[in-house]
Structure 1
């Protein structure tokens, strides 16, 4: 079994590489993926996170997690699956800090990295729905001095077609160990020339989502943490989900590991692009709510997949705060995932809806392990 698990981890190891920020062809003639059909979205009536999964499937999922610990040496994991007609499976196990033998428990939260962009895009969509903002609004309304601010739109920030340099490409913040203020990060980005004219190409940039969170703060007159709490975490009763305050390091956070040692990282940055902690249950409930119309009209969320730009890894595409994985392009399997991945050199996270299994899964691991491969292994049991 261990060999099979290693094979599974190798199968999708292509998606664990650090994300390239190179400019790629996009709107002006570049390749795009077709928008997935609306009927692939989940049926709201099929899911009940209030029901705990029981029986042989639960036992099999628990067993796979134990085997993954043995196969990968990972320190800790939070994972949850919402399965149609069967309920919720969840596990939180391993170590917050393996060298100190500090164990994960029911109060532990994990870092969700760039999956937080789904929350930011949802807030922006809600503000547009409330006519407080427009997708065509120019960045110059809030940041007139930034490069191309009179041409960059909110939609281009959402879709990573603004051309703005991603501050985390700067060697000083590539491995984030200290707190950088939003102004410091914007200054790092502004010190570099934009990569291309707005709308000409596609390039993943954390600067885009930092600016979106700051725009939301300016519109609402509240911190981004307050906005997410009032609009998403509160209404959905997601008690573990939190946008970290500047420099905040929760005592119940599963710490990043590398080569068996705890690595210092400040997960309170970057605002709007990756400063959220939670357990997997709350993150899987969030994505279910997003795709079933509890936070936005389903048509609006479906629209976030209208423009899908090719990402560096085969089979991965980026929309508006949502990613699409097309396994036809990876291993000739007729399956699509809708959601988002994220990670650092020492942390990995994934939240997706598997359109073939009609199952939601969220997981985070406090070490660099292929969460995509782990998800595929767990989802394979649902398909049996």
Structure 2
């Protein structure tokens, strides 16, 4: 359930020619291409206003038994659960059953700084409470942990910083918000989810996740290893809880986001607060830029599932991607989907790769500059992959096609290394950079 950003700001404009197909045919062709090459399994949905205009599933819910996924197959959505939790908390605020300045000490006084931490701070990840998932090496997500056990675990953490002094993403915050939701309403999370969101937004395939049940059209998750899809062991959802324990479909996620923004689930005054970012995070929402457009939404990751949902208010467009076969960068898939949707030129990725020796990769590391462009490019090896990052931009992974040639297909970039020089080509342009 790590926070992550799903849309890269392009280093350069895309330059390849559009194919002579409809944009939805192209999206389907892209995802079919990735699926056929064992790069992706999952589900996608695009919604315009109240209408679902494209939705489809690819691959299997159960590889071992060749059980194919369909549009109603449910997947674990990880941290997108946080947006559901945030909406229900804001409903309590609207109902005057909770205040944003209510202190955590009202519910769990033994947690460090509970008398300083507010509901606002929990919603915005500004508490200083350690992330039990990513910040605690003793956490075992395969174990069942009771509410009392989790609260005691969180209470034992020392504070990382003074509450509301800065942002730091922590699953602990939304675990606590899920429990506060139950404490205030005297109903369990599942009942709240059903009454406060599922029925109101008319979601048909959303529920609290426990252990995967294929008879309920729920899916397993996989990674690709040794030439085949390998099952990822399931976590115990008792710990994920309000931070990440919901099953849903891509179609339900775009419908949910539409309901958030059209007033079905929260008032405009609440939505205004939710979309007000404090150091990149609002109330259960973050933003994803795509060109001049700004999508609101969330990402998720749990077991082998990877998910994202975004909503662009100006055009009332929602898009969601859920991955249960993880063998390709989710960001790059989303770039492809949105590029095609907005009729931007897009080139299908080159899935041919080359094995480069670690010592060769390491020799390319450094900062490269050219007198012809007002930026520098930093080349690093991250987790065995060569990455590039231009000044002021996000980094992206490079795919090797030879020992010294690397490409980034979504932007039609090719980099060739020779001694201290790196030649960058894109479209008809070519620049020679030199390592400083």
Q: 1:180 aligns with which of 132, 140, 145?
A: 145
Structure 1: segments with no counterpart, 5+ residues: 1-16, 21-54, 310-316, 328-332
Distance, in Å, in 2 between the alignment partners of 1:221 and 1:185 is: 19
Distance, in Å, in 1 between the alignment partners of 2:282 and 2:222 is: 31
1:345 to partner: Cα distance: 5.8
Change (3 A) 1:89 1:364: same
Higher helix share: 1
Change (3 A) 1:271 1:226: same
Q: 2:100 aligns with which of 113, 135, 151?
A: 135
1:86 to partner: Cα distance: 6.6
What corresponds to 1:378 in structure 2? Answer: 337
Distance, in Å, in 1 between the alignment partners of 2:60 and 2:323 is: 10
What corresponds to 2:156 in structure 1? Answer: 191
Matched, 1:289 2:259: yes
Matched, 1:305 2:275: yes
Change (3 A) 1:120 1:86: closer
Greater RCO, 1 or 2 (C-alpha within 8 Å, sep 6+): 1
What corresponds to 2:46 in structure 1? Answer: 81
Q: 2:30 aligns with which of 64, 74, 86?
A: 64
Deviation track 1:51-82 (CA, whole Å, cap 9, x = no partner) reads: xxxx94433332222012135522x2111100
Partner of 1:215, secondary structure, is helix
Query: Does the 8 Å contact 1:108/1:253 carry over to 2?
Result: yes
Distance, in Å, in 1 between the alignment partners of 2:308 and 2:96 is: 31
Deviation track 1:21-68 (CA, whole Å, cap 9, x = no partner) reads: xxxxxxxxxxxxxxxxxxxxxxxxxxxxxxxxxx94433332222012
What corresponds to 1:342 in structure 2? Answer: 300
What corresponds to 2:244 in structure 1? Answer: 274
Change (3 A) 1:84 1:129: closer
Query: Does the 8 Å contact 1:357/1:383 carry over to 2?
Result: no
Partner of 1:339, secondary structure, is strand
RMSD of equivalent CA atoms: 2.3
Higher strand share: 2
Structure 2: segments with no counterpart, 5+ residues: 5-20, 344-436
Deviation track 1:314-365 (CA, whole Å, cap 9, x = no partner) reads: xxx21111011235xxxxx323221001113622000101467652111110
Q: Considering only CA atoms, is the larger Rg found in Structure 1 or Structure 2?
A: 2
Matched, 1:264 2:233: yes
Partner of 2:338, secondary structure, is helix
Q: How many residues get paired?
A: 318
Query: Does the 8 Å contact 1:353/1:360 carry over to 2?
Result: yes
Matched, 1:243 2:208: yes
Change (3 A) 1:335 1:267: farther
Change (3 A) 1:85 1:188: closer
Distance, in Å, in 2 between the alignment partners of 1:374 and 1:71 is: 14
Please give the residue correspondences for 1:1-384 in structure 2 after superposition, counting only pairs within 5 Å: 18-19=2-3, 56-71=22-37, 73-74=39-40, 76-84=41-49, 87-169=52-134, 170-173=136-139, 176-244=141-209, 247-251=210-214, 252-258=217-223, 259=225, 260-266=229-235, 268=237, 269-309=239-279, 317-327=280-290, 333-344=291-302, 346-354=304-312, 358-368=316-326, 369-384=328-343
Distance, in Å, in 2 between the alignment partners of 1:276 and 1:207 is: 16
Change (3 A) 1:231 1:356: closer
Q: Which runs of 4+ in 1 moved over 3 A?
A: 17-20, 55-58, 84-87, 354-358
Using structure 2 for the length normalisation, give the TM-score.
0.68
Distance, in Å, in 1 between the alignment partners of 2:54 and 2:337 is: 11
Query: Does the 8 Å contact 2:45/2:56 carry over to 1?
Result: yes
Query: Does the 8 Å contact 1:249/1:267 carry over to 2?
Result: no
Using structure 1 for the length normalisation, give the TM-score.
0.77
